[in-house]
Amino acid sequence: MPKSTTFANDLVALIFNATAIADLAENDTSAPLTSLYVALHATEPGIGGSQLTGETAYDNYLRVAVNRNSGGSGWSVSGGVAQNQAVIPFATCGAGGGTVAFVSIGTDVKPNAGKVLWKGAVSPSLSVTTGIQPQFAINALTCTET
């Protein structure tokens, strides 16, 4: 049985904007996450994987923190859909490289495993080589709860 549109939006707002769901759920009050972390992957992290699963490994690569809010550096939420409100720039490849075919949004900085909350294919995939800086444009990451 599917969720209602209202609840799907509430759930996305809880995760991406730290907005409580009245009488049901609240953001952690003692040590809440203030950011979600976007990771790049060469291979699909799978349903049981972490943010380390198949994660890219070029020189200078780090996950990018995106604020859990609806401000200009966070996420817009509407109709059960969250989208990034600012460009998400990764570090420029210093050496090494490889193909980026998947992206995930999760809970921790590298080198920690981090729980994958949303994941998807990068289409078309991106060949990252020395001097290339991967990035996602505004609204390029769309996470949908149905």
Residue 115, pLDDT > 90, answer yes
Alpha-carbon distances, residue 92 vs 58, 79, 95, 131 (angstroms): 9, 34, 9, 6
| Residue 52 burial (C-beta neighbours within 10 Å; 0-12, 13-18, 19+) | middle
- Residue 132: predicted pLDDT: 96
- Please count the residues of the chain: 146
CB 120 within 8 A of CB 49: no
**Percent of the chain predicted with pLDDT > 90:** 90
Which sign, positive or negative, has the C-alpha torsion 106, 128, 87, 124? Answer: negative
Residue whose C-alpha is closest to residue 64's, from 42, 35, 43? 35
Residue numbers of the domain that contains 133: 5-144
Instruction: Tell me the pLDDT of the chain averaged across its residues.
Output: 95
Total structural domains in the chain? 1
Q: Which residues are within 8 A (CB) of 80 and not within 5 positions of it... i.e. 6 or more apart?
A: 3, 5, 8, 9, 11, 12, 144, 145, 146
Res. 146 pLDDT band, cuts 50 70 90: confident
Res. 71 pLDDT band, cuts 50 70 90: confident
